[in-house]
């Protein structure tokens, strides 16, 4: 390599890390450091007089009593946290399952049969991204009130005899809210994937004698499994940390989720370390879920290439 | 052959069977899927339209239609969006934060994406990993973490606008990275190399060859950051210092169940219209940039692909 070219290469080599540096520094300061702070608060103590938390900055001073408290509530029979963790898990499973039952047909139809209305249909699928989640919950508060339109329609159709309170501790309202809130985030990745499936594969299946149903079951469905899984992970992660949906659509401790407990303990003042410990436990649980997902997709990728 | 003979040879199918075949014949039109899609779209859009309708109520009800007026927008002297100080400040706080988030995140994220994509050093891989972790972190974790940081470590950053803006930037940075990186990978390094072979300095090659090609991705990431910031609730709520720095979603959360008038619906509607107008303007810009690059196709289609790209993990 000639001398000027080498100098140029060196200058370029310095340029790339230089460009990345501000962003990386930002993330170290405001994303990685905060994780360490959570740990220090969770392993810290509470000042006995002023009741404000004292973070333990040195890992040698870490005091596990907040985790002790969380694990007692989690693993003792009928413990407070056990109920909440199980409830969160059940709600998320139901909400993700329902979302998938809605999202797959819709994404499939728009991707495969959208035809000349595709643009309009896509507009409908993208619209929720520009409408705040909280506004979408607000619209359901309007509808589900005692004298709201849901009750009126059900009364008019004689499905119910007396108005029902939908907004007070009903699991169905909270799950409906979760599905309504997160289903768009499942539809779009599914749509993008189904739209990209090579149609010649389906034609090949048909040429070999498969019926449309068989072609779907043997070609489209297995091909789309990774996208289905990705979409489910995308919507399950925020659901596990959600506290505003149950607060708005129920507001009762009967439907409180992990997120509600975290919010209460962090804002409550006296037991901030417990809130921080709950965040750590939630993070560890979700990392296990994510690790499984990463391993699964890596394996699927390898199988496709083999 | 007479029609009577044909009828005898093939008896008419029963009405139920005809209905079933009309809805679910695998060789015919997918009417069942069309029905599900239409029902989904109705279910997804109509509640919003009803909420917007109530915001124009002349009466105080948030669950029944009571005439039409702009009372809750500006006519009411105490309780309308324009005159209630809490509602008005929430609207401006949301706009301010979205502006700040776009102004800081886009340059930071574009530089980060170019740096991380082209850089081949030892630290590039871990840096790339760290930059994608925010995508899979539930917002409540990020919100609590930043809250504790500003309360116990970086105490000179008080809760409020600064803390909220930092939170929004941190949370949306990875989205910019993903969008711009996808575009960079599809462009490849040859254009800058060609520019440098023709004598441009690396910085000049970047500015003259790469940045113009990145413009669609930059506009797309600006739209995304803007939408994320306007929509964000958890981070804004944890990092708010009180009612003066509450954003629209925080206000909806704190008074959604107790609000006595449709003014909250009016506030949500104004925010929605503002978001849609800004997004539509950005789409127009994007469209112009795209067509100048000589790429046709549906804008929405490409945006949907992009959004899916964004939500893909890593």
How do residues B216-231 score in pLDDT, each as one tens digit? Answer: 889 889 999 999 999 9
**pLDDT for the residue numbered B310:** 47
Angle of CA points B224, A97, A257, to nearest 5°: 75
Domain B84-311: assigned CATH number = 1.10.3720.10
CB A202 within 8 A of CB A219: yes
Of the listed ranges A256-265, B9-18, B146-155, B205-214, the one predicted with least confidence? B9-18
CA distances from A209 to A69, A156, A205, A220 (A): 62, 50, 7, 16
Give me the pLDDT at residue A137, please: 93
Please determine, for the modelled complex, whether the ipTM score is greater than 0.90: no
What pLDDT does A66 receive?
83
Chain A contact for B277 (CB, 8 A cutoff)? no
Contacts of B63 in chain A (CB under 8 A): 142-143, 145-149
Give A61 to chain B, closest Cα distance, Å. 17
> How confident is the model over A13-64, as pLDDT tens digits?
678 788 888 998 999 899 989 999 999 988 888 777 777 777 888 787 888 8
Residues of chain A with pLDDT under 70: 1-13, 269, 306
Q: How confident is the model at residue B24 (pLDDT cuts 50, 70, 90)?
A: low
A131 closest CB neighbour out of B109, B123, B272: B272
Check residue B296 and give its pLDDT. 46
CA distance B223 to B229: 10
Which residues of A, range 28-47, sit inside 8 Å of B by Cβ?
28, 30-35, 37-38, 40-41
pLDDT of residue A4: 62
Instruction: Classify residue A2 by its DSSP letter.
Output: -
| The predicted structure's pLDDT at residue B27 | 67
Q: How far apart are CA B263 and CA B266, in angstroms?
A: 5
pLDDT attached to residue A56: 80
Residue B191 has pLDDT above 90, yes or no: no
pLDDT at B292 over 80: no
How many Cα atoms sit within 13 Å of B293 on the Cβ side? 17
Residue B133 pLDDT grade (very low, low, confident, very high; cuts 50, 70, 90) = confident
CA distance B75 to chain A (A): 22
Highest-scoring range by mean pLDDT, A72-81, B191-200, B233-242: B233-242
Q: Which residues of A touch B64 (CB under 8 A)?
A: 147
Å from B162 to nearest chain A CA? Answer: 13
Q: Determine contact: B271 vs chain A, CB below 8 A.
A: yes
Q: From the list B47, B272, B304, which residue is nearest A188 (CB)? A: B304
Q: What is the mean pLDDT of chain A?
A: 86
pLDDT at B313 over 50: no
A210 at the B interface (CB within 8 A)? no
Least confident of A18-32, A162-176, B8-22, B149-163: B8-22
The label of the residue with tokens 């809250």 reads: B147
* Predicted pLDDT at A109: 92
Banded model confidence at residue B94, pLDDT cuts 50, 70, 90: very high
What was the pLDDT predicted at B162?
92
Name every residue whose Cβ is closer than 8 Å to that of residue B314 and which is 6 or more positions away in sequence. Answer: B132, B135
Residue in A142, A164, A157 with CA at minimum distance from that of residue A248:
A142
A273 touching chain B per CB within 8 A: no
What integer best gives the mean pLDDT of chain B? 83
Q: What pLDDT is stored for residue B42 in this prediction? A: 93
The residue in chain A having the minimum alpha-carbon distance to the alpha carbon of residue B305 is A192
pLDDT at residue B121 tops 60: yes
Q: Chain B within 8 Å of A140 (Cβ-Cβ)?
A: yes
Question: Is the pLDDT reported for residue B76 higher than 90?
Answer: no
Q: Which of B83-97, B160-174, B184-198, B234-248 has the lowest average pLDDT?
A: B184-198
User: Above pLDDT 90, what percent of chain B?
Assistant: 33
CA distance B172 to B174: 6
Residues in B touching A234 (Cβ below 8 Å)? 311, 313
pTM of the entire predicted model: 0.86
pLDDT at position B67 over 90: no
- Written in H, E and C, the secondary structure of chain B is CCHHHHHHHCCCCCHHHHHHHHHHCCCCCCHHHHHHHHHHHHHHHHHHHHHHHHHCCCCCCCCCCCCCCCHHHHHCCCCCCCCCHHHHHHHHHHHHHHHHHHHHHHHHHHHHHHHHHHCCCCCHHHHHHHHHHHHHCCHHHHHHHHHHHHHHCCCCCCCCHHHHHHHHHHHHHHHHHHHHHHHHHHHCCHHHHHHHHCCCCHHHHHHHHHHHHHHHHHHHHHHHHHHHHHHCCHHHHHCCCCHHHCCHHHHHHHHCCCCCCCHHHHHHHHHHHHHHHHHHHHHHHHHHHHHHCCCCCCHHHHHHHHHHHHHCCC
In chain B, % of residues over pLDDT 70: 87
Question: In order of start, what are the domains of chain A with their CATH numbers?
Answer: 80-268 (1.10.3720.10)
CA distance A196 to B107: 31
Contact: A23, B108; criterion CB under 8 Å: yes
For residue B58 the two structure tokens come to: 């002349």
Q: Count Cβ atoms within 10 A of the Cβ of residue A222 and give its class: 0-12 exposed, 13-18 middle, 19 or more buried.
A: exposed
- Supply the pLDDT for residue A213: 83
Average pLDDT over residues B89-113: 94
Burial B241-263 (b: 16+ CB within 10 A, else e): eeeebbbbbbbbbbbbbebebbb
Domain extent listing, chain B: 15-74, 84-311
pLDDT at B10 over 50: yes
Angle at A290 between CA A84 and CA B163, to 5 degrees: 75
Dihedral class, residue A77 (left if φ above 0, else alpha if ψ from -120 to 50, else beta): beta
């Amino acid at each position: 390599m000639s001398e000027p070219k080498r100098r140029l290469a060196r200058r370029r080599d310095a340029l790339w890390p230089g460009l990345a540096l501000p962003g990386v520094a930002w993330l170290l300061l405001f994303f990685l450091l905060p994780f360490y702070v959570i740990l220090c608060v969770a392993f810290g103590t509470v000042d006995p007089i002023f009741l404000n938390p004292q973070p333990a900055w040195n890992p040698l001073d870490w005091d596990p009593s907040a985790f002790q408290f969380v694990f007692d509530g989690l693993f003792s029979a009928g413990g407070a946290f056990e109920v909440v963790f199980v409830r969160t898990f059940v709600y998320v499973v139901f909400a993700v399952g329902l979302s998938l039952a809605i999202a797959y047909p819709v994404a499939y139809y728009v991707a495969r049969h959208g035809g000349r209305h595709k643009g309009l249909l896509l507009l409908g699928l993208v619209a929720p991204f520009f409408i705040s989640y909280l506004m979408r919950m607000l619209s359901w508060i309007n509808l589900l009130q005692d004298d709201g339109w849901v009750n009126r329609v059900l009364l008019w159709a004689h499905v119910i005899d007396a108005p029902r309170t939908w907004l007070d501790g009903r699991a169905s309202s909270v799950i409906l809210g979760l599905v309504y809130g997160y289903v768009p985030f499942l539809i779009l990745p599914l749509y993008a994937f189904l739209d990209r499936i090579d149609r010649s594969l389906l034609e090949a299946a048909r040429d070999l004698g498969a019926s449309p149903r068989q072609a779907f079951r043997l070609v489209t469905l297995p091909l789309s499994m990774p996208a289905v899984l990705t979409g489910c992970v995308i919507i399950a992660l925020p659901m596990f940390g959600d506290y505003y949906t149950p607060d708005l659509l129920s507001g009762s401790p009967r439907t409180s989720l992990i997120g509600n407990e975290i919010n209460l303990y962090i804002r409550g003042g006296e037991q901030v370390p417990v809130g921080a410990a709950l965040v750590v436990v939630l993070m560890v649980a979700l990392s296990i879920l994510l690790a499984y997902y990463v391993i699964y997709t890596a394996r699927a990728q390898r199988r496709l290439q083999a | 052959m007479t029609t009577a003979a044909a009828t005898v040879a093939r008896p008419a199918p029963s009405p139920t069977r005809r209905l079933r075949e009309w809805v679910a014949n695998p060789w015919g039109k997918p009417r069942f899927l069309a029905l599900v899609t239409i029902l989904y779209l109705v279910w997804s859009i109509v509640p919003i339209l009803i909420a917007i309708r109530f915001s124009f109520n002349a009466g105080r009800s948030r669950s029944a239609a009571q005439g039409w007026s702009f009372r809750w927008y500006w006519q009411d002297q105490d309780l309308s969006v324009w005159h209630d100080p809490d509602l008005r400040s929430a609207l401006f706080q949301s706009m301010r934060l979205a502006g700040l988030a776009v102004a800081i995140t886009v340059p930071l994220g574009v530089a980060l994406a170019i740096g991380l994509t082209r850089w081949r050093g030892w630290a590039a891989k871990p840096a790339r990993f760290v930059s994608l972790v925010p995508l899979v972190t539930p917002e409540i974790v990020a919100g609590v973490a930043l809250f504790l940081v500003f309360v116990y470590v970086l105490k000179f950053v008080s809760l409020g606008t600064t803390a909220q803006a930092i939170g929004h930037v941190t949370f949306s940075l990875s989205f910019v990275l993903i969008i711009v990186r996808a575009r960079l990978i599809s462009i490849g390094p040859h254009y800058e190399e060609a520019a440098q072979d023709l004598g441009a300095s690396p910085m000049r090659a970047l500015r003259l060859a790469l940045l113009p090609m990145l413009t669609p991705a930059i506009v797309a990431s600006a739209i995304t950051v803007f939408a994320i910031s306007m929509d964000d609730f958890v981070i804004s709520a944890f990092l708010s210092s009180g009612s003066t720095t509450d954003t629209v979603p925080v206000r909806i959360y704190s008074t959604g169940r107790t609000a006595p008038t449709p003014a909250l619906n009016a506030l949500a509607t104004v925010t929605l219209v503002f978001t849609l107008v800004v997004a539509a303007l950005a789409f127009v810009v994007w469209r112009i940039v795209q067509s100048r690059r000589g790429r046709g196709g549906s804008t929405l289609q490409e945006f949907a692909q992009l959004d899916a790209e964004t939500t893909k993990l890593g």
